[in-house]
Structure formats: C-alpha cells, structure tokens
Chains A and B, each alone.
Chain A
Amino acid sequence: MENKCVVSMEGVYAGYGQENAVEDVDICVSDRKLLGIIGPNGGGKTTLLKVILGLIEPTKGKVSVFGEAPKKSRGLIGYVPQQNTFDRNFPISAFETVLTGRLKHGRLFFSYGKEDRDAALQALGEVKMLGHKDRQIGELSGGQLQRVLIARALCTKPRMLLLDEPTSSVDPETQVFFYSLIGKLKKKISIILVTHDVGAVSSHVDELACINRRLFHHGGIEEGLNKLDEAYGCPVRLLTHHRPHKKAVAND
C-alpha cells in the first residue's frame, strides 16, 4: 500500500460519455479515518464513488484501492447506496436483504450457509434492527431501511465503508444513532461519507474533501469549510436550504 492511502487517486478524470463529471482529482484516504466528501448536486460526488467501486473507469489518471485496481478490491468495500436505487416494494425481507451482502459470485446452486446467516444476524444486531428482521423492506421507515442497508454492507466484513447520502431520508433519532455507529466503526475500518449535510460533516468527519467537478479542498475540516463558498461558486447557505437551521454551522 503506497503512502498508507487505502484509496489513492492521482489526476483522475471520469464521467459519462464525452463529458467529465470530475477533473484532475487527487485524493488520499487514510486508513481508519472518516473522510467526508461534500459538494453540490451534479458536482461529481457519485461519480467519484463509482470510480472507487470500479463501476466506471477513469478516462485519465490513476486510481488504486487497497493498492490494487478498484475492480479487484471491490470485495473489501461495503457499499451503502442511496435509497432510490432499488424498488422498495420488492418481495424481500430485511434479513434477506442483509444476506445478499454474503452472496459470493460464480457458484452454481449457491445457497446461504449458517455462517452467512449468523453474519447477517450479527450485522442486524449491530444496527439494532433484529426486531424487524422479517419485515418486508417497504414496511420499514426511511431510517430503519437505512440501518438495514448499513447492515448489508457490514456483513460483507468490509475494510472500508462507502456511504452515499446516508442521512438524506432518515429521522433525527436514526441520525444520532448513525453517527455514533460510524464513530465506533472508524476505529476498525476506513469510511467515506458522501453528503449534503454540512453540519453533520463538520462535527463528525476527520477529513473533508470538497468537490465541484474539481477538487477544491482535501484535508482538515476548518479550512475545508472556509473553502466551501469557492467550491460551490456560491454562498454555502444555498446548499443547506433544506435545513435552514444548519446555516450557522456552515458559516462558522
């Protein structure tokens, strides 16, 4: 692992078709640290995640995840997607959803063993969702579903957790729970958190990356927050219009 970066990007350009959604990005994610990635909609946050997951190839630049090509290291990453990437009416229970984290590729007549079930139950316990394990996912609240998705990522036994807007459709109680869980987890694994939530980022992450196509800042939180205006090309309070009460934090 070069320079102790679990994820390293050097001069990365990536996007869909001709247009680059991110340009010339250098990032180093340290082991067992919580990196917050923040930026406006369409600023390339999700593109960056997809590059790390090996779902899209960069058009230029170098990426390595745990010292390997992203596709090779996928198995080491626990991914928590946004909630709009799947159908909540799908006939699947919370427990079964978590179990899919244990699916191993390329096996005929694959079925989950006792070890897989235990891992799924343990992960559900970790997010305090054991009591809801047999409910169909559509019957869960946004916050409960979020916990299930985190459990699914955790039961892959990841060395890094990648969370895409994890608090966007979540009740305040789950938010508190979520950040305390993240705090515990980062003692063991690295975490990348993509979010809009400037307030939460400033109080929970170790490092901050601000991205709006280009990387505007990568490092400490204080300087990062000061640079947000520049990254967004407009005052930060516009960014937080969903949560006006957080304005103060962003402008601190």
Chain B
Amino acid sequence: MIEILKYQFVQNAIYSLLLASLACGIVGSFVVVKRISYIAGGIAHISFGGIGLGYFLGMDPILVTIPFSAGSAVGIGLLNRFTRLGEDIAIGILWAMGMAAGVLLIYLTPGYAPDLFGYLFGNVLAVPPSDLWVMFALDFAIILSVAAFFEYFKSVSFDETFANVRGINATAFYLFLLVLVALSVILLIKTIGVILVIAYLTIPAAIGRQFTHSLTRLMALSAAIGALFGLAGFAVSYFFDLPTGATIVIVMGAGFVAISALRRFAMRVATAKTDQEAG
C-alpha cells in the first residue's frame, strides 16, 4: 500500500485530487446552494470545445480552454439573463454544440489523434507536473476571488433582488460565479474529465449540506469530503485496475446515497425515541 506512494505519477495523482477537491469544495458549495448544477454541467461540456480548439491551434489545450470556458460561462450567463430563450434550452443547445465543436476541431487537426478518452473521462495517472502548477494557480485564483468577495457572493446567491436593491450588481457577481465554475471545471478536466466533472461540483457539497447550516463550514466540509472520496476512489481504481474518474464518481455517489440514508435513519430513530419518552 505504502510502496505505491513512492511513484511520482501516484504522487501527482494525489496532489491533483487534493487540488481539485479544494476548488470544488468552495465553488461546488455555491453550485449546490444556488442550484446551478445544470449550468455548471453545461459549462463543463462546452469546455470540451476549448480542448478541441487548443489542438486545432497547436497550443496547450488546457491553457486555451481557460479563456474559452470562462468566456462561455459569461456567454451562457448573459443568455440566461437577457434572452427569452428558456434557461434550460439555451444551456442544452450550447452543451451539445461545445462538445460537437471539440470533436470536429480535433478531427480537423492534422497529425495523430490525441487521447480524447482522457479528456472526457479523466486520467489521473497521467497528470504531468506542469498541469499541477496550472491547477495550483487556478486554485489560488478561485480562493482569492471568493475571499475577496465572499459576502457579496453569499448575499447574491441567497437573495438577488434584495442585493440589487442594496446597490450590489447581482448580475455581475452571478457571471463572476459562473467564471469560477469554469475555472473549477478546468482544474478537473485532467483528473476526472469533462463528462464527470459535475459529480465533483455537486456530490461533496450535497453531502456536506446535510451537516451544516453555515456556508463557510459547508465549503471546508465539501473540500474534505471531496478529498476523502477522491482518494478512496483512486485507491479502489488502483488496486482493482479500474478507470479512475469513473470509479471516483461511483464511490462518491454511493457515499452520498449511504450517508443520506443513514442520516435519515438516525433522524427517524431520534424522533421515535423522543416520541417514546414523551408518550
């Protein structure tokens, strides 16, 4: 068990999972409490277009995807706000178009075909040190942004109209939040892939919110839960030789179901007990 930690690629995998959990704990909490998981899913899939564009231009796909996804996030947010197209329809259309654009651009790129599967479903064992630095920088940007504007993000996520009346530009912070979602997506692409990203942005916070009513504690808890399940899933995938991204998602999802059920059971027992004592 301990020997595998000596391998550089295993160490990198663990670092990347921890870095991803940190961003997802913070941004995922907002995704869950503001109920924008569908938009987050859309942003994740659209970012595949950025990967394709990167290959097509012969540049680093991840670096190209950063502005591409951030731009798409703002675009999707503006479409949601200012057009009469139903919110879900706009996202549905862009979701598919982003993926399709990615596939076409990679197809049109001369030379050898890159490992598409890795971008779609992640390949945590193939994260190079240079990507770790990019992840580190993205984490830093996310934490700094949320720290600088925490009360605004919180207030706008809770009650946009009231925030507006208080002179706070709710739309700007909404778009800012979507950009942070885009940055988190990029953090996760190499680890678990664009298709499975949404699990990291929703499941840890969905588990965490069952245990706290404080947004800051929810962030810390979600990051810890993400790290725990991420590493557990990684270990399972390593020893049973399974695809890592998918294994992590299944472990997280199973954890969510088990914890929710246990909690409900515990609450029922507690109520039964008080009823008994009362009656």
Interface residues of A (CB under 8 A from B): 53, 55, 74-75, 77, 79, 81, 85-87, 89-93, 97, 100-101, 103, 105, 108-112, 136, 152, 156
Which residues of A have CB within 8 Å of B209? Answer: 91
Which residues of A have CB within 8 Å of B212? Answer: 91
Is the C-beta of B38 less than 8 angstroms from some C-beta in chain A?
no
The 3 closest A-B pairs by CB, nearest first: A136-B213, A86-B159, A105-B167
Contact A103 B165 (CB under 8 A): no
Nearest-neighbour CB distance to chain A for B144, whole angstroms, equals 10
Which residues of A have CB within 8 Å of B33? Answer: 87, 89-91
Interface residues of B (CB under 8 A from A): 33, 35, 147-152, 154-155, 157-159, 161-169, 209, 212-215, 218
A81-B159, A109-B148, A111-B151 given; A101·B35 CB < 8 A: no
Contact B158 A101 (CB under 8 A): no
Nearest-neighbour CB distance to chain B for A109, whole angstroms, equals 5
A92-B215, A103-B155, A109-B147 given; A55·B167 CB < 8 A: no
Contact A108 B148 (CB under 8 A): yes
- Nearest neighbor of A17 in chain B, beta-carbon distance: B84
A85-B161, A100-B163, A110-B150 are known contacts; what are 7 more A-B pairs with Cβ within 8 Å? A55-B164, A81-B161, A89-B33, A91-B214, A92-B213, A103-B151, A109-B147
Contact A55 B161 (CB under 8 A): yes
- Nearest neighbor of B164 in chain A, beta-carbon distance: A55
CA distance A89 to B215 in the complex (A): 12
Contact A91 B152 (CB under 8 A): no
Which residues of A have CB within 8 Å of B163? Answer: 100, 103
Which residues of B have CB within 8 Å of A53? Answer: 164-165
Contact B165 A100 (CB under 8 A): no
Contact B218 A91 (CB under 8 A): yes
